Structure 1
Amino acid sequence: MNRPTDFTDLALGLVSAQSFPAIVGIADHMLKSSDVILVGYEKIGSGHCTAIVRGRIADVRLAVEEGAERASQFGQELETVVIARPGANLEKILPIGSRLAELTAGRTGHRLSSHAVGLLETRGFPAMVGAADAMLKAAEVVLTAYETIGAGLCTVIVRGTASNTAMALEAGMAEADRIGELHAVMLVPRPLDDLDQTLPLAQSFQEELQPVRLPLNLKQKEAEPILLQEGQQQPMATPILQEVERESENLPGDRPSKPI
């Protein structure tokens, strides 16, 4: 789909759920069943999450219908709406507008973009942490972020190959049940770019690692006196030490020449 630069004429579709893994699975199904754009999610507390999509009116209606069907399969209480021509004031007030600006500006992927997504939701933070630890020890996956949506619901998000992610989820489910309450689990084997860009990602994966820089103001230690034998010459300092000494003392002059 050719992404438009002006979203004002596109219809707006919203589908809600009471679990973050569930709403991600619903959004994934909506994207793969219709030609729509996933704007993001709105979390209002008490576990309620809403997936927001934009597109032509027919595509949005189809996506919302498919999302509602998937929500019923997940056992989620359903609430949907399709707005054919959202007003300009609605765009400015709701957070939908700022997310659309990000889409038009364009966003790049990260080094885990092609990996499967595993989401495990618990009711209680200790159970989530324990499940995350078990997942990392059971398979080759990377913990990328966690999400909280209220009502004690916490979701840990891991990335890896589809097989490793599935294995990690099995281990996490067992540990979450042992510690507390397991609420929901979701595996997305092949996430589309729209879905990938709306998932939370830890800051460490968003920024490139920078090399460690040495301090600029280096001070040379005071050299101990050297006793010279009769006829022996004073040894020449190395160019690096001469340069450091000159910079630390802020002395004028040319850079030292290399010894022959």
Structure 2
Amino acid sequence: METYNQQSVNSFQAPRRQDSFKDTALGLVSTSSFPAIVGTADMMLKSAGVHLVGYEKIGSGHCTAIVRGGIADVRLAVEAGVQTAEQFGQLVSSLVIPRPFPNLDVVLPITNRFSQLIEESNYSRLSNLAIGLVETRGFPAMVGACDAMLKAADVHLAAYEKIGAGLCTAIIRGSVANVAVAVEAGMFEAERIGELNAVMVIPRPLDELEQTLPLASCWIEQRQPLKLPLNIKEKEQVAEIEVLQLPDLTKVPIKIKEEVWHEE
């Protein structure tokens, strides 16, 4: 009886460093465009209590959103993500991994590195704004779409993303109305120049979604130390600077003592 109890105690005292993996799962949904994966990730975050780990881009336009959370939440989030990707006509594949081993986190790019993407000393001036994405096949079409969007509404070009196969996505930020107007203008210009592949407007992005999106360095500000005004009383009189003038040594007479030599 004592042996049984001791075994029971030992079983309950198993290393708990794996507890964090015991009841969690990884969810992956892959699409064939970057705007589609951002919209899919947004829906996954809003449909269940999961965390967005980040994206993995493997070329040829394939992008995968990776989420983590409780097993039930991840299954629900992946289901919502699949439905969203299918609506966009961009679904490639999906996967749910219950109770992943710790080594899977070490080897694959699915760690919590994205949670530290924005350091405490940096912050985004574009946070809490709507997101607009216009994806084209070909760089000239994307540049033309960017120009049209910036001229059509009060939006900011945050960055652009390349995912291979000639696909590149312009990412703009602004109010919901301005982003919607700008994306429409960008669509027409992209179709006029080249090939439009996908578009997306996300009105209210969550913080986790924002932290995983690329952001141009011009929109990252370094926190500056607080500068307090100092009341310094100005002097009424300016101190005079005395210039020490050295005499001209060429004009100073030099007396040389003459010595008389006597012959013996």
The two structures have a TM-score, normalised by structure 2, of 0.74
Specify the code of the residue in structure 1 equivalent to 2:131: V
2:177 aligned residue (157, 163, 173): 163
- For the 8 Å contact 1:68–1:78, the answer to whether it is kept is no
Task: Give the SS at the match of 1:114.
Answer: coil
Residues 53-101 of structure 1: CA distance to partner in whole angstroms, max 9, x if unpaired? Answer: 0000000000000101111111123311111111121111111125266
Structure 1 residues 130, 101: closer, same or farther in 2, change over 3 A?
closer
Task: Give the SS at the match of 2:38.
Answer: helix
Q: Post-superposition shift, 1:8?
A: 3.5
Task: Give the SS at the match of 2:92.
Answer: coil
Task: Give the SS at the match of 1:50.
Answer: strand
1:173 aligned residue (172, 175, 187): 187
Q: Does 1:37 align with 2:48?
A: no
Task: Give the SS at the match of 2:187.
Answer: helix
Q: Post-superposition shift, 1:206?
A: 1.8
Question: Which residue number corresponds to residue 46 of structure 1?
Answer: 60
Question: Which residue number corresponds to residue 206 of structure 1?
Answer: 220
Task: Note the residue ranges of structure 2 that are not aligned, 5 or more in a row.
Answer: 1-18, 226-238, 244-264
Distance 1:106 1:62 in 2: 32
Q: Post-superposition shift, 1:109?
A: 5.0
Structure 1 residues 135, 7: closer, same or farther in 2, change over 3 A?
farther
Task: Note the residue ranges of structure 1 that are not aligned, 5 or more in a row.
Answer: 1-5, 212-234, 243-260
Distance 1:237 1:171 in 2: 66
Q: Does 1:140 align with 2:181?
A: no
What is the percent sequence identity of the aligned residues?
A: 65
Residues 136-187 of structure 1: CA distance to partner in whole angstroms, max 9, x if unpaired? Answer: 0110000010000000000000000000000000110111011100000000
Residues 11-33 of structure 1: CA distance to partner in whole angstroms, max 9, x if unpaired? Answer: 10000000000000000011111
Specify the code of the residue in structure 2 equivalent to 1:168: A
Question: Which residue number corresponds to residue 111 of structure 1?
Answer: 125
Q: Post-superposition shift, 1:210?
A: 6.8
Q: Compare the two structures and name the one with the higher strand fraction.
A: 2
Q: Does 1:92 align with 2:97?
A: no
RMSD: 2.5
Specify the code of the residue in structure 2 equivalent to 1:175: E
- For the 8 Å contact 1:143–1:157, the answer to whether it is kept is yes
Distance 2:178 2:219 in 1: 20
- For the 8 Å contact 1:11–1:83, the answer to whether it is kept is yes
Distance 1:87 1:47 in 2: 29
Number of aligned residues: 210
Question: Which residue number corresponds to residue 8 of structure 1?
Answer: 21
1:81 aligned residue (89, 92, 95): 95
The two structures have a TM-score, normalised by structure 1, of 0.75
Distance 2:82 2:36 in 1: 11
Distance 2:169 2:143 in 1: 10
Specify the code of the residue in structure 1 equivalent to 2:190: A
- For the 8 Å contact 2:82–2:91, the answer to whether it is kept is no
